Structure 1
């Protein structure tokens, strides 16, 4: 992880927060389905949700992250101009794989509820080993893409989902 990577902590709009809450609902659905709690939404430049998904890695395909699925869907269904004008909302900051897919497909702004640094810190606190891929910030993988997050008002909800996934009892 690159702890010195700067995040764009600009004020999130009511629309940003509403769509991040939708991502949290999708993450909760993933958890209910026995999967890791991540959810994401693709919004076009007219404010229409074009695609949404949640993690589907429980069956063994570790590439089935919702941000990666958004990139795949967008590459097949949107023009390069539409992709560049879109916004991806997600419960957790993109991992390096998803950030790379985002960059290669040419998607626009990213808004996330919880950062890689936050999730890494929680996992360390709970004694959970880090994943097999370096925890890099989005800006390290795809510099120049507009990024907003984390959303402090949603931290408790995201932390609770991840704690539940790992069987951690929190107060």
Structure 2
């Protein structure tokens, strides 16, 4: 992982923090071109009641609208947390390339269980269980503590 990629992941943490500050769950994502150039970003926006407003899903929609199939296939989605099943499917359906995540779905599940948080209504699956041909990298250990702390703050507020 190079400095540009770590910069994109740090931006994901900033976006996740913005999401938490806005009353959303702390997730943030960045879409980059094959050469590492920033293309788009988003954060979680589910507080309004639409639980499909995940940043990874929004970036898949953005990519389908603005990028060619070749550009999509060589792009990378950097994200604070591993894609859920819905976002993994959207990523695969629009033909996006690599995913780099800070914390895995398994890590998040372990944290939530530790804090006594009820499980989500959808089974937690790894990206490759949903989309087996997507190249995936993660977790990124040096940033995991920051993401864990954001989720701890979210769930300490809701108890």
1:59, distance to aligned residue in structure 2 (A): 0.6
* Number of the residue aligned with 1:93: 82
Q: Distance between the aligned counterparts of 1:99 and 1:164, measured in 2? A: 26
* Number of the residue aligned with 1:161: 150
Secondary structure, aligned partner of 1:58: helix
Give the TM-score taking structure 1 as reference length.
0.90
Structure 2 unpaired stretches of 5+: none
* Number of the residue aligned with 1:131: 120
Q: Distance between the aligned counterparts of 1:45 and 1:111, measured in 2? A: 13
* Number of the residue aligned with 2:139: 150
- Deviation readout 1:71-119 (Å, 9 max, x if unpaired): 0000000000000010000000000000000000000000000000000
Q: Paired residue for 1:37, among 26, 30, 41?
A: 26
1:144, distance to aligned residue in structure 2 (A): 1.5
- The answer to whether the 8 Å contact 2:5/2:36 transfers is no
Q: Distance between the aligned counterparts of 1:61 and 1:17, measured in 2? A: 30
Q: Distance between the aligned counterparts of 2:5 and 2:139, measured in 1? A: 11
1:46, distance to aligned residue in structure 2 (A): 2.8
* Number of the residue aligned with 2:109: 120
Q: After TM superposition, which residue ranges in structure 1, 4 or more long, deviate above 4 angstroms?
A: none
* Number of the residue aligned with 2:37: 48
1:18, distance to aligned residue in structure 2 (A): 1.6
Give the TM-score taking structure 2 as reference length.
0.96
Q: Distance between the aligned counterparts of 2:20 and 2:118, measured in 1? A: 19
Q: Paired residue for 1:23, among 12, 16, 20?
A: 12
Aligned residues between the structures: 157
Q: Distance between the aligned counterparts of 1:34 and 1:111, measured in 2? A: 25
- The answer to whether the 8 Å contact 2:97/2:135 transfers is yes
- The answer to whether the 8 Å contact 2:13/2:28 transfers is yes
CA root-mean-square deviation: 0.9
